[in-house]
């Protein structure tokens, strides 16, 4: 089987055109491990080089996991690129050391490091060639990889995104072999006596994906020899559905915005569930490293609370909390929240009739003669109350917080100016009626909170 017949038989060019992967004059970085898939893609790109006027670069990442075997893979890749005059960049990344620092699995750490290396190299090539289109990154995932991914997501629990499998195109990443089976790749390499490297870890079934690869995929192919083809057809159709839902959910997020990163609760609550779910996942993922770790469990919990009265909270990964308040939805990042550096300043002066009251939110006047204890700045304590009207009626601070719809996560951190348990000022909100200036006032206590907020 020649490379030409391989391209034609497996409809690789049609797949490229369907997903608009390549244009004339493109510059492409190929992730070249030396394994059969990436070696096959190496020859596919070489076969397309003249037709598309491609500028091909290869990048090999040595993960420093497999000792001399990894060094031999690197030597093979270097020889292959030299034989076909393809520029090669080699990186050695100490994955075991990174795993110790991050706590991630070896497989996940290697994947993250590899993709970051691809992106860094592509960006560097863009910098050297500012007048050309952005460099593309070619990855050699095949139909088996796509099926394994779908089955892995199904076993672990997933939504529509997981069922869509591996994307043919994602930003600058392209996957020209995604519709080609592993068996077809191996047949092409064997027919042309093309050597490749074997990663022994791919046969170790303690890895979940390897169990799927060696145990489950063959069983599915026994049931139906076209099982991989059918799974890939399913993911193509689901991707079309996902694209539509993505468009609708982005529209929902625009409509739901209420400022400062908040969403209107009612807008999300009244949207179709499938659109609301996707919109919430997109919204929450924007707060997560690598835009990951928001699961269906989180989304279902949020959807179940949207129509409940009062304030609710949902704990998220990375010390983040989703607040479902009375009107809005928003994320609080505990790792970023710190104690305020704002300070209080005071002055006392004689009051004269006709003085202009301060209108700033963070500057307040109080009648000194009505203060019975030492003025204290603190956060809330049991028994705190404030006077809510001129008749002297009291309300507990807890009831005030609830009635004023102040989010629960803020209540323990709001500064209070207190005269014993009598709250003179809930800073940023209101002062007690008892301490307001009147015609009988002789001395005024002025308190200013924070220069930056005094506006």
Task: State pLDDT tens for residues 178-203.
Answer: 999 999 999 999 999 999 998 766 66
- Look at residue 204 and give its three-state secondary structure: coil
Least confident of 207-216, 269-278, 335-344: 335-344
Rounded Cα–Cα distance for residues 121 and 129 (Å): 12
Smallest CA-to-CA distance from 430 within 379, 351, 377, 362 is with 362
> What pLDDT, on a 0 to 100 scale, did the predictor assign at position 454?
44
> What pLDDT, on a 0 to 100 scale, did the predictor assign at position 116?
94
pLDDT in tens, 309-338: 878 888 888 778 888 988 899 988 765 554
Structural domains in the chain, sorted by start: 3-234 (3.40.50.620), 260-333 (3.30.465), 344-449 (3.50.40.10)
pLDDT in tens, 21-51: 999 999 999 999 999 999 999 999 999 999 9
Give CA angle at 308 (305, 309), nearest 5°.
Answer: 135
pLDDT category, 121, cuts 50, 70, 90? very high
Beta strands 320-324; 416-419: pairing state: unpaired
Question: Mean pLDDT of all residues in the chain?
Answer: 89
> What pLDDT, on a 0 to 100 scale, did the predictor assign at position 290?
67
Span between the terminal Cα atoms of the chain, in Å: 76
Contact 142/185 with Cβ under 8 angstroms?
A: yes
Sign of CA dihedral 203, 205, 209, 210: positive
| 294 Cβ neighbours under 8 A, 6+ residues apart | 281, 284, 285, 288, 316, 317
> What pLDDT, on a 0 to 100 scale, did the predictor assign at position 318?
79
As given in the structure block, the two tokens for residue 123 are 């960006």
Average pLDDT over residues 8-33: 93
pLDDT in tens, 363-403: 999 999 999 988 999 999 999 999 999 899 999 999 999 88
Smallest CA-to-CA distance from 33 within 187, 138, 124, 173 is with 138
> What pLDDT, on a 0 to 100 scale, did the predictor assign at position 455?
42
The single residue listed with the structure tokens 């909270």 is: 313
> What pLDDT, on a 0 to 100 scale, did the predictor assign at position 206?
60
């Amino acid at each position: 089987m020649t490379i030409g017949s391989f391209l034609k038989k497996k409809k690789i060019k049609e797949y490229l055109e369907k997903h608009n992967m390549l244009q004339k004059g493109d510059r492409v970085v190929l992730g070249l491990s030396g394994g059969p898939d990436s070696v096959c893609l190496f020859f596919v790109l070489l076969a397309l080089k003249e037709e598309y006027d491609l500028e091909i670069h290869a990048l090999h990442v040595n993960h420093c996991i497999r000792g001399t075997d990894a060094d031999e893979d690197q030597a093979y890749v270097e020889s292959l690129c030299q034989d076909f005059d393809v520029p090669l960049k080699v990186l050695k990344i100490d994955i075991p050391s990174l795993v110790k620092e991050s706590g991630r699995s070896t497989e996940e750490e290697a994947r993250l490091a590899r993709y970051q290396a691809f992106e860094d190299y592509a960006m560097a090539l863009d910098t050297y060639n500012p007048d050309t289109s952005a460099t593309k990154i070619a990855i050699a995932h095949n139909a088996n990889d796509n099926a394994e991914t779908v089955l892995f997501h199904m076993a672990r629990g997933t939504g529509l995104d997981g069922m869509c499998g591996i994307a043919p195109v994602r930003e600058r990443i392209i996957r020209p072999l995604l519709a080609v089976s592993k068996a077809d790749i191996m047949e092409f390499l064997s027919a042309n006596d093309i050597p490749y490297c074997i990663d022994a870890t791919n046969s170790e079934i303690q890895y979940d994906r390897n169990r799927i690869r060696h145990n489950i995929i063959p069983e599915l192919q026994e049931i139906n020899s076209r099982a991989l083809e059918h799974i890939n057809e399913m993911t193509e159709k689901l991707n079309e559905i996902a694209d539509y839902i993505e468009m609708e959910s982005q529209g929902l997020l625009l409509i739901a915005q209420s400022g400062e990163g908040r969403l209107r609760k009612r807008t999300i609550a009244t949207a179709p569930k499938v659109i609301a779910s996707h919109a919430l996942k997109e919204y929450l993922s924007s707060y997560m490293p690598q835009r990951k770790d928001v699961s269906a469990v989180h989304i279902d919990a949020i959807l179940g609370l949207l129509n409940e009265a009062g304030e609710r909270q949902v704990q998220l990964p990375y010390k983040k909390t989703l607040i479902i308040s009375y009107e809005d939805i928003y994320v609080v990042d505990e790792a970023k929240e710190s104690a305020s550096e704002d300070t209080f300043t005071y002055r006392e002066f004689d009051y004269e009739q006709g003085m202009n009251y301060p209108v700033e939110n963070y500057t307040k006047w109080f009648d000194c003669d009505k203060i019975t204890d030492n003025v204290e700045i603190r956060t809330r304590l049991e028994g705190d109350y404030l006077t809510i009207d001129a008749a002297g009626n009291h309300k507990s601070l807890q009831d005030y917080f609830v009635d004023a719809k102040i989010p629960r996560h803020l209540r323990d951190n709001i500064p209070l100016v207190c005269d014993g348990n009598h709250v003179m000022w809930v800073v940023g909100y209101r002062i007690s009626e008892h301490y307001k200036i009147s015609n009988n006032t002789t001395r005024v206590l002025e308190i200013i909170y924070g220069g930056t907020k005094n506006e």
